[in-house]
Amino acid sequence: MSAALAINAIDLHYGAAQALKGISITCRPGRITAVLGRNGVGKSSTLRAIAGINHVSSGDIVFGSAVLKKAAPYKRARLGLGYVPQGREIFPLLTVRENLETGYAGLPRSERNIPDYIFELFPVLKSMLGRRGGDLSGGQQQQLAIARALVTRPKVLVLDEPTEGIQPSIIKDIGRALQFLRDERGMTILLVEQFLDFCREIADDIYVMDRGEIVHSGPAADLDRPEVRRHLMI
């Protein structure tokens, strides 16, 4: 089976500093792939390269049958790439409904609606549609950020540290939501995380990064191996 998303030997520089060195990641269709690593190893840079926010200096990113080259973020979204950034980036002065409607931009008029299953996944959002994004808790904002990405009808959903700074009960809800998207909607999911137990529970495949490189890849059960965990210790 071909990959839903393949990152092939990408390098990324910030000025003279090289943040990514030959990163390759294969996301199997309908599976959850997790990229783990300590602070500053290049996880967010990898996702920003996939989303088209940062440009790679070599290598390529293949989405379905499209090689993304320098396609702008909105074009990638139209192709079916949903991106949930680190820190959520909710519009604080817009209501929950308006935040969700920002996902309509790339959709044909007939699809400009909020699919019901999103409110089944995150019922709290339905009860808060008229509230401002900035009034939501961190966990509710994370749910809103995921819901906003789902409004764009992604084939592949990419999330940057969805558990960061969030209380355990909402982490469980988010984990259940991602498993539902994989199991019931066949979505391909790529996330970066520092929370090992979360990845052990929901991921199928893992990649471990250290200083801009992939140092391990394998099934999620590899997270039980001491030599893999060693890469993740502070």
Ligand X SMILES: Nc1ncnc2c1ncn2[C@@H]1O[C@H](COP(=O)(O)OP(=O)(O)OP(=O)(O)O)[C@@H](O)[C@H]1O
Residues in contact with ligand X by CB under 6 A are 14, 17, 19, 37, 39-45, 86
Residue with tokens 């079916």: 80
Total residues found in the chain within this entry: 234
Query: What are the structure tokens assigned to 143, written together?
Result: 């749910």
Q: Please, what is the minimum distance in Å from the beta carbon of residue 215 to ligand X? A: 13
Q: Which helix (H) or strand (E) holds 13?
A: strand 5-14
Q: Which is nearer to ligand X, 19 or 156 (CB)?
A: 19
Q: Which is nearer to ligand X, 40 or 218 (CB)?
A: 40
Q: Please, what is the minimum distance in Å from the beta carbon of residue 195 to ligand X? A: 11
Q: Please, what is the minimum distance in Å from the beta carbon of residue 85 to ligand X? A: 11
Q: Which is nearer to ligand X, 98 or 164 (CB)?
A: 164
Longest dimension (CA), the chain: 52
Residues 190, 83: Cα–Cα separation, whole Å: 10
Q: Which is nearer to ligand X, 114 or 157 (CB)?
A: 157
Residues 150, 115: Cα–Cα separation, whole Å: 9
Strands 81-84 vs 156-160: parallel, antiparallel or unpaired: parallel
Q: Please, what is the minimum distance in Å from the beta carbon of residue 194 to ligand X? A: 6
Using alpha carbons, list the distances in angstroms from residue 24 to 9, 30, 210: 5, 19, 13
Q: Which is nearer to ligand X, 43 or 88 (CB)?
A: 43
- Phi, psi of 164, deg, nearest 5: -60, 120
Nearest to 163 by CA among 205, 215, 200: 200
Q: Please, what is the minimum distance in Å from the beta carbon of residue 209 to ligand X? A: 7
